[in-house]
Amino acid sequence: MNPDSKKWNLRLYVAGQTPKSIVALANLKRICDEHMSGQYRIEVIDLMENPQLARRDQIVAIPTLIRELPSPIKRIIGDLSNTERVLVGLDVAAPG
Amino acid sequence: MEETQLDQGAPVSIPGIQKALTGIPGFDEITSGGLPAGRPTLVCGGPGCGKTLFAMQFLVAGATRYGEPGVFMSFEESSEELAKNVASLGFDLDDLVARELLAMDTVMVERSEIEETGEYDLEGLFLRLDFAISSVGARRVVLDTIESLFAGFSNQAILRAELRRLFRFLKERGVTVVLTGERGDGQLTRQGLEEYVSDCVVLLDHRVNEQVSTRRLRIVKYRGSSHGTNEYPFIIDRLGLDVLPVTALQLRHSASAERISSGIPGLDAMLGGQGFFRGTSILVSGTAGTGKSTISAYFADAACRRGERCLYFALEESPAQIVRNMRSVGLDLEPWVQRGLLEFQASRPTLFGLEMHLVTIFRAVQELDPQVVVVDPLSNLSAVGSENEVMAALLRLVDFLKSRQVTALFVSLTGNGDAENATELGVSSLMDTWLSLRNLESNGERNRGLYVLKSRGMKHSNQIREFLLTGHGVELVNVAVGAEGILTGSARLSQEARERAESALRREEIETLQRRLDRRRAGLEAQISSLRAELETEEEEVAKRIRQVARQEQDRLTERAAIASARQGENGMLAEDPIAAEERTPAPSKGSPRSTRRQPS
């Protein structure tokens, strides 16, 4: 594994600074740091500011996490409080 | 409230309930104005019942006709698929989108691709909906079919809470919403959407009865408004959804005093001498082979002769067959077809449902705008529906035609039983004129009899006429009435022969008397002329005799003059004068010759 290349490219869709959004982002950061340290990039998209992106990216539930890379695209919804399910969703088998 | 309804005739809506017209023919009438504006309406039904089309028509009508842009949010089909599906109905969705009258969004939720990890909400959906509504200033929203969300998300508690929030949100936005739902077992929709929508619920139904499909629509509830509660048949055809016109409750059509000919002089004579009233409905019923179609054809022919358009629905025979058959009774319909005055619409009733037939008739009448319509035969329609359905459908048809002042002739085939069967009795109350054709059986033969069972508003004959189909047309003959009742066919012929013989006998007697008189006259005249001839002969003889006598006198005078001159007559000069006078006078003068005779003697 090359530590320089960002293996994980993640996008988190939120709608304003709601408690669920804040929790989700915190959970995501924690999981990434624990399981894909240094190999991830997180982009947070606030649909309140760019509502048209919801249609483009087929967002229904908030918060939604999309794994752009590695392909295939994966979707995870919810506040990411269930770490195990997030790992399954992101296809992260083992740390590192 | 019931009283108000009766008073005004048309259904009333309670003030305060604003309505949004759907543009679906017939539907706006049963709901007296469409769907409740600013509120959600649930349209539910089984697969393929026309839910999506209903919703789409509602949106397109809003965008194009009522100045209300709309949002179509699909949870099943993509925008491209939808556009393709409705393009055949003449809806150009891409154009509406380009003109910002319509916004479309497809929500794809694939459960297999989604991992749920804790708390979430459907704010994304709300944002998309809000964005779409704002982008076109939508007044109408369709959610087709929001139930798909239940398949996409596993947390039912969240989903239901969010749906409740969604409807609150839509009400706040003041948009009129149509949401579709798949019919579930024992309830209107699988996911019980009806619990969220309490304002208006429309149920669409597509059932197949004896291999013929019919579509029905029913308004299950409509809060705060009166509405038709029946099941209304509807169809989906090239123009979209069409709920059959419901004008049956209103008997408002005007009545024309104009009379039109039936095309058969003998029949016109039976109908007060002038034929049918324009804009009325005529039923021609009879058993097989009694000449019903012939009467229809003559009626159509008469209309074309007047230069009117006639629409002929042939549900039994093909147009070519009708034209050919009518030639055998001396009627050529071909020229009318070629001139476009006569149009045939032929189809097998069993091919489509009853509704489809009716709508076909409605559409054709609207397009061709005929003055005269023939449906031959009506009874075939009853093959595709129950008696009640056929009655209801006919009621609509008759009212529809009357409202357009179309004179309609319906042919009905009856069984061989005694005259009127149940359907006919039911139908007959809708009809203004009822001609009954029946076979009169006697003396081992069957003859056609025609009588006017009823004809509203005119004097009509109470006689049964024998109905003859000849190579040069239809003739209605007075039936002979004998000791055993009416006589037709050969019995009539023999009765007529008897009557002819009797009258011949009488004629002969008259002729004999006449001849006798003639002979007497001739005899007398001969006598007169012979007497005249006798008289003439006598006259001639007298004249001859006179001339003879005169000549003798002349001779005698000449002789005497000769004698006188022989006697050197000094008195010859004396005698000369009277003789000259005598010569100048014509013969019959008897005095002169005698005096002349006397003078010389």
Integer CA distances (angstroms), B574 to A63, B407, B460, B569, B599, in order = 180, 116, 107, 9, 11
What 3-state DSSP class applies to B209? strand
CB proximity B121 to A under 8 Å = yes
- Residues B462-477 have a mean pLDDT of 79
Contacts of B109 in chain A (CB under 8 A): 60
Cβ A15–B105 below 8 Å, yes or no?
A: no
Residue in B with minimal Cα distance to A13: B124
Residue in A with minimal Cα distance to B123: A62
Cβ B109–A60 below 8 Å, yes or no?
A: yes
Per-residue confidence band for B357, with pLDDT thresholds at 50, 70 and 90: confident
Handedness of CA B28, B33, B36, B37 (dihedral sign): positive
pLDDT of residue B245: 60
Mutation choice for B interface testing from A55, A67, A71 by most B CBs within 10 A: A55
Cβ B118–A79 below 8 Å, yes or no?
A: yes
Question: Where is pLDDT greater, at B581 or B48?
Answer: B48
Comparing B32-41, B203-212, B279-288, B406-415, the range with the smallest average pLDDT is B203-212
Q: How far is A90 from chain B (nearest CA, A)?
A: 9
Instruction: Name the one residue in this structure whose structure tokens are 């008739």.
Output: B361
pLDDT of residue B349: 64
pLDDT of residue B137: 93
Cβ B116–A78 below 8 Å, yes or no?
A: yes
Question: Where is pLDDT greater, at B413 or B181?
Answer: B181
Cβ B117–A82 below 8 Å, yes or no?
A: yes
pLDDT of residue B190: 77
Q: How far is A51 from chain B (nearest CA, A)?
A: 6
CB proximity B112 to A under 8 Å = no
Cβ A76–B114 below 8 Å, yes or no?
A: yes
Cβ B117–A77 below 8 Å, yes or no?
A: yes
Q: Is B111 in contact with B182 (CB distance < 8 Å)?
A: no
Contacts of B122 in chain A (CB under 8 A): 60-62
Question: Where is pLDDT greater, at B547 or B234?
Answer: B547
Tell me which residue of B419, B382, B464 sits closest to B286, measured CA to CA: B419
What 3-state DSSP class applies to B237? strand
CB proximity B471 to A under 8 Å = no
Task: Evaluate if residue A16 carries a pLDDT over 50.
Answer: yes
pLDDT of residue B564: 86
Task: Evaluate if residue B29 carries a pLDDT over 50.
Answer: yes
Contacts of B128 in chain A (CB under 8 A): 51, 54-55, 59-60
Interface residues of A toward B, Cβ cutoff 8 Å, are 13, 15, 18, 20, 23-24, 27, 47-48, 51-52, 54-55, 58-64, 73-82, 85-86, 88-89
CB proximity B597 to A under 8 Å = no
Tens-digit pLDDT profile for residues B56-109: 999 999 999 999 999 999 988 888 888 888 888 888 999 999 999 999 999 888
SS (H, E, C) B264-313: CHHHHHHCCCCCEECCCEEEEEECCCCCHHHHHHHHHHHHHHCCCCEEEE
Integer CA distances (angstroms), A22 to A44, A64, A70, A86, in order = 11, 13, 25, 16
Tens-digit pLDDT profile for residues B407-422: 999 888 776 554 455 4
pLDDT of residue B531: 93
Comparing B205-209, B403-407, B578-582, the range with the smallest average pLDDT is B578-582
Token readout for B271 is 């109908």
Cβ B128–A85 below 8 Å, yes or no?
A: no
pTM flag (> 0.80): no
Task: Evaluate if residue B236 carries a pLDDT over 90.
Answer: no
pLDDT of residue B423: 55
Percent of chain B with pLDDT over 90: 25
Q: What is the gyration radius of the CA atoms in chain A, in angstroms?
A: 13
- The phi, psi pair for B506, rounded to 5°, reads -65, -40
pLDDT of residue A6: 72
To the nearest whole number, what is the mean pLDDT of chain B? Answer: 81
pLDDT of residue B69: 94
Interface confidence (ipTM) of the complex: 0.89
Integer CA distances (angstroms), A2 to A6, A8, A23, A36, A61, in order = 9, 12, 30, 12, 34
| Facing residue for A58 by CB, picked from B108, B122, B131 | B108
pLDDT of residue B601: 44
CB proximity B60 to A under 8 Å = no
pLDDT of residue B12: 45
- Residues A54-73 have a mean pLDDT of 88
Contacts of B113 in chain A (CB under 8 A): 73-75
CB proximity B169 to A under 8 Å = no
| Facing residue for A20 by CB, picked from B120, B124, B127 | B120
pLDDT of residue B518: 94
Comparing B26-35, B475-484, B557-566, the range with the smallest average pLDDT is B475-484
> What is the rounded distance in angstroms from the CA atom of residue B324 to the CA atom of residue B319?
9
Contacts of B115 in chain A (CB under 8 A): 74-77, 85-86, 88-89
Question: Where is pLDDT greater, at B358 or B530?
Answer: B530
| Facing residue for B115 by CB, picked from A15, A51, A75 | A75
pLDDT of residue B577: 52
Cβ pairs A/B, distance under 8 A:
96
Cβ A60–B124 below 8 Å, yes or no?
A: yes
pLDDT of residue B428: 74
Cβ B122–A15 below 8 Å, yes or no?
A: no
Cβ A79–B117 below 8 Å, yes or no?
A: yes
Say how many Å lie between the first and final Cα of chain A, rounded.
Answer: 8
- Residues B516-534 have a mean pLDDT of 93
> What is the rounded distance in angstroms from the CA atom of residue B126 to the CA atom of residue B165?
9
Maximal CA-CA distance, chain A: 37
pLDDT of residue B552: 92
| Facing residue for A78 by CB, picked from B119, B122, B123 | B119
Per-residue confidence band for A96, with pLDDT thresholds at 50, 70 and 90: very low
Token readout for B262 is 């039936």
Cβ B124–A61 below 8 Å, yes or no?
A: yes
Q: How far is A28 from chain B (nearest CA, A)?
A: 11
Contacts of A77 in chain B (CB under 8 A): 114-117, 120
Contacts of A67 in chain B (CB under 8 A): none
